[in-house]
Chains A and B, each alone.
Chain A
Amino acid sequence: MAKVKGAIVVDIEKCKGCEVCIPACPTDVILLAEDVNGKGYHYAYMANPDACTGCANCAIVCPDGVITVYRKKVNS
């Protein structure tokens, strides 16, 4: 069966770690990293990349527009 897999790329230096993307994700992919960026913010990253469906909900609510979303059909 064809499955949709997604991935996000976070612009780490522009992420302000506001966490608005975390409740927006329906599959609980995103968490804040332990590390901080140059401004001292914990940035968002894919903690659970296998679950991402590329729905783009996180990118749509991101106030700073730091998330880029990719989606691909894969055959499992």
Chain B
Amino acid sequence: MAENIVNNDIIKEENLVYKKTDLLTDKSLSYCPGCGHGTAHRLVMEVVEELNAQDQTVGIAPVGCSVLAYEFMDIDMQQAAHGRAPALATAIKRLYPEKYVFTYQGDGDLAAIGTAETIHACNRGENITIIFVNNGIYGMTGGQMAPTTLPGMRSSTSPYGREVESMGAPMKMTELVAQLPGTYFVTRQAVHTPSAVRKAKKAIKKAFENQKLKKGLSFVEIVSNCNSGWKMTPVKSNEWMVDNMFPFYPIGDIKVPEE
């Protein structure tokens, strides 16, 4: 423990630069070490804190690794049936139009079982925010192939790599929903480096602020790692993500509202 006692002149309240937001509870996150979900949770809560909207925000937790998001986010949360988070968010937003409503979903939830709900919520242009964490695999159930799994990528149900001929090509949900007239702001971000995290936070903040404009749905994809599912160390999985995921899922804004 002695290593952590450093210069006591620096560690003082007035010199504080950064600490975990109070909107995350003190519970230990249930995610694997190095998982991007933790960073994504923190960014969403930091944005809610900056908007000063702790009591004005309703989050929808999905089914998947982030099913316990309501344990970690200290705001009003509702857990939805598998894939149905956008439908539930629609209902909550229509009942409470002044509240910030967001869904937090993984790729198995949003891009597989919940494809219909996602596309129709986007098409109707509900004034909600969708946070889509894409790691190209079903993490919670043991690393099975997801619709977003890359061609040739190994998973527990495609042990020789995904064959596009028999298993289909991966689905780019974010590009798909950008085609729909109901979406207002569509972007793809990542949380593997400090600069990427800062950009992702800006995008999430914009996506939340857009709800007040009532111009349509804001969709933020966060390309993340799944080091357990990919069978790599966290740092190696981030490097693999840069080399393999980013060429297929390029980072950047896809649909930006015209000024």
- Which A positions have Cβ atoms within 8 angstroms of B? 5-7, 9-10, 12, 14, 16-20, 22-24, 33, 41, 45-47, 49, 54, 56-57, 59-72
A-B contact pairs, 19 of them (CB 8 A): A7-B6, A7-B7, A12-B1, A16-B32, A19-B235, A46-B4, A49-B7, A57-B194, A61-B191, A64-B31, A64-B33, A65-B20, A65-B24, A65-B38, A68-B18, A69-B18, A70-B17, A71-B15, A72-B9
Structural contact, B11 and A7, CB atoms closer than 8 A: yes
Are B7 and A61 in contact (CB-based, < 8 A)? Answer: no
State the main secondary structure of chain A at its contact with B. Answer: mixed
What count of chain B residues pass the 8 Å CB interface test?
A: 40
Q: A70 touching B28 by the CB < 8 A rule?
A: no
Cα-based distance from A35 to B107 in the complex (angstroms): 37
Are B197 and A61 neighbours in the complex by a CB distance under 8 Å? yes
B49 to chain A, nearest CB (A): 13
Taking a contact as CB atoms under 8 Å apart, the answer to whether B4 and A9 are in contact is yes
Known pairs A41-B33, A46-B3; A68 contacts B20 (CB<8 A): yes
Question: Are A70 and B33 within 8 A (Cβ)?
Answer: no
Extra contacts, 18 of them, besides A61-B191, A68-B19 (Cβ < 8 A), are: A5-B7, A17-B33, A18-B33, A19-B233, A20-B192, A20-B235, A24-B194, A33-B3, A49-B7, A54-B17, A57-B194, A59-B20, A61-B193, A64-B33, A65-B21, A65-B24, A69-B17, A72-B12
